[in-house]
Structure 1
Amino acid sequence: MTDTKTPTTELTSQYTAQVANDLERNAKDQDRITAEIDTLYEQLRALQHDHTVLTSMQKALGTMDTAAEAAPEEVEVPSVPRQKTKAQPASGKRVRAKKTVTAQGSETVEEPASEKPEAAVETSAAKATRPTLVELIRRHLTEQREPRSAAEIATTLGQAHPERTIKTTVVRSTVEGLVAKSLVQRTKQGSSVYYTAAETPEPTPSAAVPANDQPEAN
């Protein structure tokens, strides 16, 4: 009987010690968690207080913005004095002036409209009087004794008239148009095409009518 009771007593002592340790650990965990809850609760109360203050500030600022929009500040803008334009010398050309109005309703300085430069007028006149490409091609082919290709014609005319842009494709189409009108003759040598000026027959002078043979006026 004594041997049986001894192991049971030892086992009970072990369980008792373990339970006591668990209870102590549990109590410590409760204290720790309670302290954390208190800390978080204090932080929550501080955040709630800050939220209330910020909400009040937001409402106050919103009221101030509404009042500012309802009564905008008036800023006095000085008007720009009107300046007199200088008299333009008489040059035979009419000069139109433009008037620009500012946002305040005052007129600014009148600026004369830009006149057409004389160089542009001279350029337009020169373009109107210079010979056409058809005339240049016919003149060139008349002066040449040998057939000329479209590329050769374009190169020669481009060197003689550097102010003009003469392309081979344009020359070829122009010469073909002259061929269709029988003003230029076309010959083909292999895969190359050459052009020569067509021989224009000399006009036959009309026979003079004797004065006696002329019909009398009724």
Structure 2
Amino acid sequence: MEFCPHGTKLECSKMRPKVPCKKLHFKKIIQKHTDESLGDCSFLNTCFHMDTCKYVHYEVDGPTVQFPKESFSKIESVETKTLGRTNQDTTILYPAQWVQCDLRYLDMTVLGKFAVIMADPPWDIHMELPYGTMSDDEMRQLGIPTLQDDGLIFLWVTGRAMELGRDCLKLWGYERVDEIIWVKTNQLQRIIRTGRTGHWLNHGKEHCLVSMTPLP
């Protein structure tokens, strides 16, 4: 379902008092320690301290109008297709696989070849992070070219690493063909604006560089 742009049912009723709204709304979570005068919590549903946080948090209030149960039975089933070997109309979904290792020292030729690669590397963004990162030179030296002879790569980059990501793709032998921009929204479906201007520009969105192996 779609979220109502007015947020809560109270605000929605003020804006359109005579029209029932079928969209989803939010309602405030008011606890003993909540101080509504402080406004909304910047982290909303991702707040780690909701038991003590004095700012306002929200939860989904559900649709204003109750839909008849028959309406749900009319929804046609959608056939889902998964990756894997097929036998006539049967599709086999294999369990997810991963390798726990240090990528800097892994011989990537043992992994085989892939038609599509999605990479979200641990770029060094000059911040203290709860996980290890890779230096710029270590990123450039990754054996990505051994994983693909012909196909696409989707490379997620951070604000500082956008140009570095483009350099890496060029070094790995790819031709950049497109760029996807993910504009992040919070629980209330609003653009994230936590922090100062630099935070808005660097953390309110992420870029995914789309590249392909050049045609022979």
For the aligned pair, the TM-score class normalised by the smaller chain equals: under 0.3
Q: Which has the higher contact order (CA 8 A, sep 6+)?
A: 2
Normalising by structure 2, we get a TM-score of 0.16
Larger fraction in helix: 1
